[in-house]
Homo-oligomer: A and B are copies of this chain.
């Protein structure tokens, strides 16, 4: 099986290292961007040497970013090549056209590495789906924010210095927005819906709140209630619509997700006969993520799990009533939904749907608030 690899950064290097140790997976060409990356005779700066090579069966994309990754993969599909990608942003935004093209050319798209690093999340979903429909899933999908939240909780630290430290350690990007504003988790929730429910939620309709404005005192409050704060992505398929959200949740200490610490990820599925199952592991990192990519390549090699599902687009509705924790300098704007004031900037809401709260926050143009769901 001959492979063309697009991108030779952290994940791409892991992929070539694992494939080079394998007897059946052969990387023929590696696309790199800069001259200094031409360290291997297989490296090229000309993508056509990969996309137009009839010997290459699989194109593996570890470039990141929407373009030119999307265009390269469209071309690869048109040329009859299977694709494997670790690029959640690109796939979450372009799934419709990519899957349509894959179907047309009778090839498949594999994306285990887009969610949960090395955790076999997509493979586990596919396996469960042989027997059960998936009712719901929820999880800690982002290692960077979990690292920050864990250390804030355990060491009573503030957010900003920890973000700087995470950047220094390479856990967080220099532009950390995708991580700390929850966009990274939004992509992963959407792709998990596509696998679990066979429908793709409208990305912009998934209410997405991050941890950019969290303070030590928010965690202190959670702790005083026997809880801890985690950034949780989740979705429920109730048969009629998709409920999906990304937001901080104050979880009871005994909740299985409350005890997932540092840069680990954990995702729980719920289905009729298997019940709740939780998959925990390294959410990122060169070798764990590359492991997931190479598992996809083996699935193609062994002709397993051909995923050519052209998922319908589904609207998102969040109509279950819940209690929320709100901290904002504009608390007076939330009087109608406030049930219990904690201090002059902070309250617990009465039971309200996320759709109602999300609309209210939008109307108030309240961008600096910190909001968390409080687990019942």
Interface of A toward B, CB cutoff 8 Å: 14, 18, 22, 118-120, 123-124, 127-128, 130-132, 254, 256, 259-261, 266, 272-282, 285, 287-288, 290-291, 294-295, 298, 304
Contact between A288 and B259, CB atoms less than 8 A apart: no
Known: A254-B261, A298-B131. A280 touches B281 (CB 8 A): no
In this complex, the member of A123, A127, A132, A272 whose beta carbon has the largest number of chain B beta carbons within 10 angstroms is A127
Contact between A14 and B273, CB atoms less than 8 A apart: yes
Contact between A274 and B278, CB atoms less than 8 A apart: no
Contact between A18 and B278, CB atoms less than 8 A apart: no
Contact between B18 and A291, CB atoms less than 8 A apart: no
Contact residue among B120, B124, B131 (Cβ-Cβ distance under 8 Å from A291) = B131
**B residues in contact with A14, CB < 8 Å:** 273
**B residues in contact with A123, CB < 8 Å:** 127
Contact between B282 and A280, CB atoms less than 8 A apart: no
Q: Indicate how many identical chains form the complex.
A: 2
- In the assembled complex, the Cα of A254 lies from the Cα of B261 at a distance in Å of 8
**B residues in contact with A261, CB < 8 Å:** 254
**Sample of 15 further A-B pairs with CB below 8 A, known A274-B281, A279-B279:** A120-B277, A123-B127, A130-B295, A131-B291, A131-B295, A131-B298, A254-B261, A256-B280, A272-B287, A273-B287, A273-B290, A273-B291, A275-B285, A276-B281, A277-B281
What is the minimal beta-carbon distance from A121 to any residue of chain B, in angstroms? 11
**B residues in contact with A295, CB < 8 Å:** 127, 130-131
Contact between A118 and B275, CB atoms less than 8 A apart: yes
Contact residue among B120, B259, B298 (Cβ-Cβ distance under 8 Å from A256) = B259
Contact between A288 and B273, CB atoms less than 8 A apart: yes
A-B contact pairs, 10 of them (CB 8 A): A118-B273, A120-B124, A127-B295, A131-B294, A254-B259, A273-B287, A274-B282, A277-B280, A277-B282, A278-B279
**B residues in contact with A276, CB < 8 Å:** 281-282
Contact residue among B266, B275, B278, B288 (Cβ-Cβ distance under 8 Å from A287) = B275
